[in-house]
Amino acid sequence: MSASKETGGAAPTKGAKVKGQDWESMATRTKVVTLTPLVEAVIPSLVIPTASKSTRAVSFQTGRLGFLLGVVLVLASLLVGWLLSGALGILGYVILFWLVGTGGVVMVLGSVKPLAFVKPICTRCRLLPVIVEHEAIHLTGVAREGDVWGSMRQRHSVESLRLEGDPQICPFCPIPKRLRGD
C-alpha cells in the first residue's frame, strides 16, 4: 500500500526516476474514490493509513504485482478464517475476510483500474488533480515520499498554484509545505 502520508521531506534518491508519460497515463486512468465512513467500514485496511490529518489519499499496489498480492491476501484471509473456524465457526471466515480479504479484493480490482482513496474534504478541493498526480507517481512504482515530492516540485510550485494566502486551502494541507521543500 502506498500512503500519501508526509514523511519529513527526504531528499530524492538518485535511482528513482519519474517518467512523465508513465504517471500522466496512470493519473488519467486512476479512479478517485471518496473515503467515506461507509468505504472505511467496508474496507477496514484503509482506516489506519488515513488516520493522519496530513494524509490526503491512499492507493494500493497495481498491475500484476497488485493482482498477485491481492489474491494472496484473499487466500490468506480465508486460510486463517478456516483455522479459526473451529473456535469461531463461520464468524472466523467473515471477520478475517472483512479485516484482510477486502484489502486484497481492492488490490485485485486496482490491478485492472488504478484506485485512489481520497479524503472527502480533498475531493472538493481545487488541488485534487495534484493529489491524484501524487498517487499516480506512487502507482508507477516510486515509493519514497521524498522522490515523489522532488518530482512534483519540478512541475509545480506554491507560486504556480497560487497557494500562498489562499483561504480555500485547509490550514493543515501538506501540499504547500511539501512544494516549498519544508
Contacts of 164 (CB under 8 A, 6+ apart): 158, 176
Under a CB-based contact definition with an 8 Å cutoff, are residues 56 and 6 in contact? Answer: no
What residues contact residue 89 under an 8 Å CB cut-off, 6+ apart?
none
pLDDT digits (tens, 9 = 90+) for 26-77: 778 888 999 999 999 999 999 998 888 888 899 888 889 999 999 999 999 9
Among candidates 117, 134, 127, 144, which has minimal Cα distance to 15?
Answer: 144
Q: Render pLDDT for 88-113 as a digit per residue (tens, 0 to 9).
A: 888 888 988 999 999 999 999 999 89
Backbone angles phi, psi at 174, to 5 degrees: -80, -10
34 membership: H or E segment, kind and range = strand 31-34
Distance CA 43, CA 100 (A): 8
Residues 121-131, mean pLDDT to the nearest whole number: 90
> Chain-wide mean pLDDT for the chain?
83
Residue pLDDT, tens place only, 164-182: 888 888 888 889 888 888 6
How many other C-beta atoms can be found within 10 angstroms of the C-beta atom of residue 42? 13
Contact 169, 125 (CB under 8 A): yes
Band of pLDDT at residue 12, cut at 50, 70 and 90: very low
pLDDT band with cut points at 50, 70 and 90 for residue 145: confident
Question: Quick check: 14 and 149 in contact, CB under 8 A?
Answer: no
| Strand residue runs (E) in 42-177 | 57-59, 115-118
